[in-house]
Amino acid sequence: MDERKQYVVDALSIDESWRIFRIMAEFVEAIETLSKIGHAVSIFGSARTKPDDPYYQKAELLAQRLAEAGFGVITGGGPGIMAAGNKGASEAGGQSVGMNIRLPFEQKPNPFANISIDYKYFFTRKVMFVKYAMAYVIFPGGFGTLDELFEALTLIQTKRIKPFPVILVGSEYWKGLVDWLKKTMLCDKKISPADMELFQIIDDPEEAVRHIQKYVIV
């Protein structure tokens, strides 16, 4: 290997080593911030949901009721359902956490979070969602929302974390997915009947808060 190629290899190796410290720094900052918020609920959903959408309004109301019940609210910090969650919590005087991920499109921090953390790495952010959540509430969304949903279900199913409420809001939206889980995965014995009980579908924000309160004493 000539001297120039060796220099490139060495530079890449150094950059990989320093990346470990950048990852560690994200974990340290997040843990120092989130360890102070107490009981919290993570709310997920599409960044593309507009303020006039009924799901946006439901997410805002849910976050408001959670804050009034003494829960902090954690979202991905961006627009859409995330903004609704942060808005409802902050306007109710609660802790409103926005964990923003730096993306080339779509994701920009919303102005409603009163506690803000900025992430470069998806996986550090996902660890924090799970670590500090007493429950997950999943509104209609896309790939990112499904990713968070199924990671939580997998961790609960495999007993890697203590079970907590996982609530799907939007029975019409989630109907096709739930039917497929029942008629394909369950019927083909890829999951067990108990796995279908790891989540609940609850459309009413007030009922969702009551369900969470049954599992968590604030």
Q: What is the pLDDT of residues 42-92, one digit of tens each?
A: 999 999 999 999 999 999 999 999 999 999 999 999 999 999 999 999 999
For 161-177, what is the mean pLDDT?
Answer: 97
Quick one: average pLDDT of 132-159? Answer: 97
Q: Is the pLDDT of residue 165 over 80?
A: yes
Mean pLDDT of 12-29: 81
For residue 136, give the nearest of 96, 145, 14, 88 by alpha carbon.
Answer: 145
What average pLDDT does the structure give for the chain?
91
Structure-token pair, residue 37:
């918020």
Number of structural domains, the chain?
A: 1
Instruction: Find the domain containing 165 and state its range.
Output: 3-215
Q: State the CATH number of the domain containing residue 209.
A: 3.40.50.450
The answer to whether 169 and 141 are in contact (CB under 8 A) is: no
Q: Give Cβ neighbours of residue 73 (< 8 Å, ≥ 6 apart).
A: 40, 41, 43, 63, 66, 67, 85, 86, 88, 89, 94, 95, 96, 97
